[in-house]
Structure 1
Amino acid sequence: MGIKQNRALILEGNMKRVILTLSLPVMANNFIQTIYNLTDTYFVSKLGTTEIAAIQFVWPMIFFMMSLGAGVSIAGTSLISQYSGAADDEMAKKVSGQVITFSVVFSIILGIIGFIITPPLLKIMGATDVFYIYASDFLRLMFIGGPTMFMMFAYSAIRNGLGDTYRPMKIGGLSVISNIILDPIFIFTLGLGIKGAALATIIARGIFGIYSVWTLFEKNSDFKIEKRHLIIDKNLMLELLKIGIPSSVGQSMTSVGFMVLNIFIISFGEATLTAFAIGNQINGLVLMPAMGIGSALTTVVGQNLGADNIDRAKKAVKTSMIMATLFLSIGGIPLIYFAEEVIGLFTTDLEVLRQGTHYLILITLSIPLMGVFQVFVGTLQGAGKTLYSMGLMTARLWVIRLPLVILFKNYTNLGETSVWYSMIISNFIVCILGYIIYKSGVWEKKRIESKFVPA
């Protein structure tokens, strides 16, 4: 569908169909991105436990890099969706140009800084010997390859804001296929080990990231961006930053929080960290529907607020909440019954298997809470109220989870399960906070000044 048909569907179509039409490609794309990580985890696991633990150890730092730039992409989706809902396509194109410019420039600067600070940062975090070498090799390459990631972010943000979630899924699919092919070649055939996993990901993302952005400038594009849109517009860039910085802070604080969490987890041993890594990768697959619905909701809320249709935006939130909870409840049942067998696909270490099975069962039982959380975050981001979504993300980890981990670790005999129970409790409390914010109605006012103009 073209952008006009997408807009008509979002503003007037059956809400269940709208959510499914937009969220299914996002779910598939999120699944595709998870396959990136699972592919690396699978092939690197053939190298050894230390190598896979090294990837898990540095992953929060990679997420930190992504979150710093992803905030502007989220802001872009919010503004583009609201301008699209108001039928102001020229302003939507201007915002798109600013997102692309920022993503390219910022990712290059961030990559250089990250490459330089990786060694001292890893030493501060306690990495030593061969573990330090593996972690450093992987992380430095991922920092240098940052621009390839950010181009994909920019493209997805623009198309998602327009209600087109299919094309980002298609680009992501081609990219992951390339990664699956390149991983064993770089890791084993070329003998690059853990560095090969990073290089395979960078090359796969780079090829299709450049292509995807280029398609936005094609003459036959249904949303053709001009070179003039890339020139920095001070007011628009400031608005993007006002919305994007809280999202970046929220996500980066989450990634830093997970770095700290990893420090607690590694104190229980490499087996616990590896169990956590494997369990999270598997659990991430079940979370795909909720993440897809949350992302789709950002667009639906944004476009309906842009069209001054608050009641329909509220209907979208309610429908999304029901669907997310239902999908996660159904998807989690097989994992609860076959947790040991699933964990066993990724490890033969008996201690990792024991801890990973326990963790996977516990976190899966509470997984509907993450559906509720994703819906509230998607609502706030679609409205451009990212200060509130930042508050939820930051509180979940820093105000609730980490203090609970410290409390349980030092004053109970729960051992490594102190982390698992802290995660469940923090997810429950933050859902209550999200509901309070939603009911306050602060998200109901749009960020743009454009008035809805019927076609």
Structure 2
Amino acid sequence: MDENELMGSMKVSKAVAKMAIPSVISSLVTVVYNMADTFFVGQTGDPLQVAAVSQTNPIFILFMAFANMFGMGGSAAASMALGEKKEKRVKQVSSFITYASLIVGIVFAVILLAGMQPVLQLFGADADTYELAKGYTTYISYGAPFIIWSAAASFVVRSDGASREAMTGSMIGTVANIILDPIFISGFGMGAAGTAIATTIGNIMASVYYLWYFCRKSRNMSMAFRYFKCGDRILSQVCSAGLPTAIFSALMSISTIILNQILVAYGNAPVAAIGIVFKANMFITFLQMGLANGVQPLLGYSYGAGNRERFITVERYTKKCCLIVGVLATALFFFFREPIIRLFISDTEVINYGVEMLIAYMISGPVIGILFMNMNCMQSTGNALPATILSILRQGVLLIPVLYGLNALLGLHGVIYGQALTDYVAVLLSIVIWRWKRRKTL
């Protein structure tokens, strides 16, 4: 199929389906990928193992912060360049994403391995969970370059109109992880450390697949070092366009650390429960995030080509899809909330905490996709700053004070509603800001 037909002239509903469905599948694969770790660790029957994985979750989120910045920023920059017919710039963007991801991954590995103890203490690890968390962190550090690059590459490959290939790369890593998890966790008795080994191997396999795509299949993309450059606004365009998503993930990591520090005062059972709830609630969030991310190349291409009408049609149609999916997914989780938690662990205390926390977290499920769509629209039109501000508000400036405030006023049963409260504020602000920016931009 001709790329111009898909991006510029195909019926919007069909183009959205063609781009969004593989993206949604990739997102759900990511959810399964994350759920698998917690699920297989939970089968050990040891809440401390689950708590250790929960406490180290901010590390993986930080990896994703940079992966999302390079991936989403690179996807936006590449989509615009494709719409403007700038072939060399597309190659420069894809090459920059490759080497920037690898460099940042190596830096992360060095920092984590050299500063293991203070990092894990900051994340809330105590005497009961420190050694378990240390095993996970050691092995996940070795995989940092591959984890960041494979995730970033999936976004850039999607901007090439190759949503199926992007999905395939994600599935390779996930299937490998799911197969290897029980082998290392239970078979070799490695617990949380086995989870990290499986994750690292899965991402190495995904990286090999994307290496093949860049070198052998793509006509537009390249990872040749001769195209690698930070000048000519490559670095600034990629990082500014991807910054909102990166800040979103980075602040999620920070807020997760703070939440773990608050919850550990009530014992390790609530920490284990929130780790399960994070993974379970990802299904609702990532389902809508997948829709929003999937159409980002369509938005960027339409804006780059000056096609205002198509941009707005894609935006409105995808928002309707997000609302429908959000309502249905939230209803499903509400009715099956206890079986969902029991799927991960059999400990009664953790289950009771988990059911209450899951209800609190999925309150914003029906509308969260609107926030992701508005942020992607801003990023696709070069309005990175307001999208960045929304990310900062949702995961930091608003959420962190709300967590401390609700904990002081209502204790454990109040703090778990902090995320839903800030989500609704962020959604409302995104609607106001994007309407204002759309009138000025389009």
TM-score tier (shorter)? over 0.9
Summarize the Cα distance change of 1:363–1:241 in structure 2 as closer, same or farther, 3 Å threshold. Answer: closer
- Residue 406 in structure 1 maps to residue 404 in structure 2: yes
Opposite residue 288 of structure 1, the aligned amino acid is F
Secondary structure of the 1:257 match is helix
Corresponding residue for residue 49 of structure 1: 47
- Closer, same or farther: CA 150–443 of 1 in aligned 2, 3 Å: farther
- Structure 1 position 225 matched with structure 2 position 190: no
How does 1:78-227 map onto structure 2 within 5 Å? Answer: 78-218=76-216, 221-223=218-220, 225=222, 227=224
Asked if residue 423 in structure 1 is aligned to residue 419 in structure 2, the reply is: yes
Deviation at 1:44, TM superposition (A): 0.8
Give the partner amino acid of 2:390.
Answer: L
| Secondary structure of 1:368 counterpart | coil
Which residues of 2 match residues 350-365 of structure 1 at below 5 A?
A: 350-365=348-363
Q: TM-score scaled to structure 2, two decimals?
A: 0.93
The answer as to whether partners of 2:357 and 2:416 remain within 8 angstroms in 1 is yes
Contact (CA 8 Å) 1:304, 1:310: kept in 2 or not? yes
Q: Which range moved further: 349-358 or 425-434? A: 349-358
CA distance in 2 between partners of 1:246 and 1:397 (Å):
11
Instruction: Kindly state the Cα deviation for residue 73 of structure 1 after the two structures are TM-superposed.
Output: 2.0
| Structure 1 residue aligned with 2:11 | 14
- Partners in 2 of 1:149 and 1:38 — Cα distance? 17
Give the direction of change, closer, same or farther, for the CA distance of 1:165–1:88 in structure 2 (3 Å limit). Answer: same
Displacement after TM superposition at 1:366 (Å): 2.6
In the TM superposition, what is the alpha-carbon distance from 1:22 to its structure 2 partner?
Answer: 0.9
The range that moved more, 358-367 or 437-446, is 437-446
Residues paired across the two proteins, number: 440
Unaligned 5+ runs, structure 1: 447-455
SS in 2 for 1:223: coil
Q: Cα 1:209–1:129, aligned 2, differ >3 Å: closer, same or farther?
A: same
Q: Distance in 1 between matches of 2:62 and 2:439?
A: 26
Instruction: Tell me whether 1:239 sits opposite 2:237 in the alignment.
Output: yes
Report Cα offsets for 1:74-126 as digits up to 9, x if no partner. Answer: 21111101111223233212211111121122211222122212211222444
Structure 2 CA distance for aligned equivalents of residues 331 and 393 of structure 1: 23
Identity %: 22
What corresponds to 1:315 in structure 2?
Answer: 313
1:441 counterpart = 2:437: yes
2-side partners of 1:226 and 1:287: how far apart?
32
Paired AA for residue 19 in structure 1? V
- Structure 1 residue 191: deviation in Å? 2.8
User: Is the alpha carbon distance of 1:240 and 1:366 closer, same or farther for their aligned partners in structure 2, counting shifts above 3 Å?
Assistant: closer
Contact 2:38 2:50 in 1 (8 A): yes
Quote how far apart the aligned CAs of 1:132 are.
0.8
**Matched residue, 1:392:** 390
**Equivalent in 339, 345, 348 of residue 347 of structure 1:** 345
Q: CA deviation at 1:439?
A: 0.9
Shift, 1:239, TM fit: 3.2
- Is 258-267 or 28-37 further displaced after alignment? 258-267
Change (3 A) 1:63 1:90: same
**Pair 1:332–1:196, CA change in 2 (3 A):** same
Query: Aligned with 1:411: secondary structure?
Result: helix
1:60: how far off?
1.5
Q: Contact 1:115 / 1:141 at 8 angstroms: preserved in 2? A: no
Superposition TM-score, scaled by structure 1 size = 0.91
Pairwise CA distance, 1:46: 2.3
- Cα deviation for residue 62 of structure 1 reads 2.1
Contact 2:139 2:193 in 1 (8 A): yes
Deviation per CA, 1:389-423, whole angstroms, max 9, x where unpaired? 221111013222222222222223xx322123222
Alignment gaps of 5+ in structure 2: none
1:248-296 deviation line (CA, Å, top 9, x unaligned): 3343123212211221222232222222221221221233331111102
Instruction: State how far apart, in whole Å, the 2-side matches of 1:193 and 1:361 are.
Output: 29
1:271 is the counterpart of 2:269: yes
Shift of 1:208: 2.4
2 CA distance for matches of 1:49 and 1:443? 52
Instruction: State the Cα distance separating 1:69 from its structure 2 match.
Output: 4.2
SS of 2:295's equivalent in the other structure is: helix
Cα distance change on mapping 1:244 and 1:284 into 2, 3 Å: closer
Amino acid aligned to 2:209: Y
> Which residue is 1:25 aligned to?
22
Give the drift of 1:237: 2.8
Q: Name the SS for the 1:332 alignment partner.
A: helix
CA distance in 2, matches of 1:445, 1:111: 41
Report what 2:374 is aligned to: 376
Q: 1:83 touches 1:91 (CA, 8 Å); kept in 2?
A: yes
Equivalents in 1 of 2:241, 2:429: separation in Å? 21
Quick one: distance in 2 between partners of 1:338 and 1:100? 41
- Evaluate the alpha carbon distance shift between residue 443 and residue 251 of structure 1 in structure 2; reply closer, same or farther with a 3 A threshold: farther
Partner residue in 2 for 1:449: none
Q: d(CA) in 2 for partners of 1:443 and 1:115?
A: 49
